Structure 1
């Protein structure tokens, strides 16, 4: 969903930090070889993820939803020199593609991949997280939140992607088969009402929420 004119959007991108060459290569190959390439975080949102990570300098990051690894690489840019990024995706067919780019980067040894159901995997990761990025199946956003909130350090950040869902969160009626929209509506309410976090929604791309644990 575009909230700004195309010209203004282009201006913003052109006056923000450049996209690293490796991520440009990753974008090109994703569009050439992988289904649903629009799932990529992309240049502008990627630079936002990178900036947030650099400001925090996290020792431990959790990502729920790896896709082809673009957002993981952006978040890894801010990792503490001894930090680790744990990233989970249900699609095992993408694992080798992700690893190829992780190992081309400076952070390959700091990125640990998991394949499978994040609801089952998250409890097995015995770490406290400084940053969590949620960008997976929308129906489980609230479940992911409940699984990670107690593993998030005080002052830690949860980043939730696609929370405006192309504006569908304003719909009062949705198709019966549409399970994502009502799930996101309830998730946004949860973040607003849960006293353990303070939350702001940024109208970036398809909506990005920043929630800070109190």
Structure 2
């Protein structure tokens, strides 16, 4: 869904940083071989993630939702030379795919994949973080926030993807099988009201929230 006219959106992409070659390859192969390729962050949002990471210059990064590894590689671009990126996904079938691209990157010794339920994995990662990216099952966004807030350093940043959910967050009635929309509405309210963070919602792609720990 485009929240600005498509021709303006195209202009924005054309006048932003180019997509690195390795990520071009990852993007292309994801669309060729993987189900639901729209889950990929993609060129423009990837450059946004990269820029935010470079501004934060995090030592340690946590990503919840690896998918094929595109966003992890974008976030790693701003990581300190002695930093680590820990990324968690429950889908075992994608692990080798993403690892292949991590191994091709400059960050192959700094990216650590974890397989399993993020709510079980997060307590086992003995790190505090400067940057967290949440892009997994929407029903657990609030649970992920509560799981990571005490592991986030003061001044640290939480990035949350898909918070506008194709505009569905404006709806007041939901289909019986739609658990994602009410969960995202609750999450957006949580970020707005939680006094531990300050938050701004950016209408980038499907909505990207930046929350800073106070």
* Interval containing the TM-score (normalised by the shorter chain): over 0.9
How many residues are aligned here? 214
Where does residue 146 of structure 1 map in the other structure? 146
RMSD value, Cα: 0.4
**Are 2:190 and 1:208 aligned?**
no
Q: Distance in 2 between matches of 1:63 and 1:7?
A: 32
Q: What TM-score, normalized by structure 2, do the two folds share?
A: 0.99
Where does residue 115 of structure 1 map in the other structure? 115
Q: What TM-score, normalized by structure 1, do the two folds share?
A: 0.99
Q: Distance in 2 between matches of 1:6 and 1:162?
A: 19
SS in 2 for 1:201: strand
Where does residue 24 of structure 2 map in the other structure? 24
SS in 1 for 2:200: strand
Question: How far off its partner does 1:4 sit?
Answer: 1.3
How does 1:62-77 map onto structure 2 within 5 Å? 62-77=62-77
How does 1:47-86 map onto structure 2 within 5 Å? 47-86=47-86
Q: Distance in 2 between matches of 1:100 and 1:185?
A: 36
Q: Distance in 2 between matches of 1:193 and 1:84?
A: 31
Question: How far off its partner does 1:120 sit?
Answer: 0.3
Where does residue 106 of structure 1 map in the other structure? 106
Q: Distance in 2 between matches of 1:83 and 1:43?
A: 24
Question: How far off its partner does 1:123 sit?
Answer: 0.5
Where does residue 95 of structure 2 map in the other structure? 95
SS in 2 for 1:174: coil
**Are 2:133 and 1:133 aligned?**
yes
**Are 2:192 and 1:192 aligned?**
yes
Question: How far off its partner does 1:163 sit?
Answer: 0.2
Question: How far off its partner does 1:187 sit?
Answer: 0.2
- Gaps of at least 5 residues in structure 1 are none
- Gaps of at least 5 residues in structure 2 are none
Where does residue 164 of structure 1 map in the other structure? 164
Where does residue 45 of structure 2 map in the other structure? 45
Q: Distance in 2 between matches of 1:210 and 1:126?
A: 24
SS in 1 for 2:159: strand
Structure 1 runs of 4+ with >2 Å offset:
none
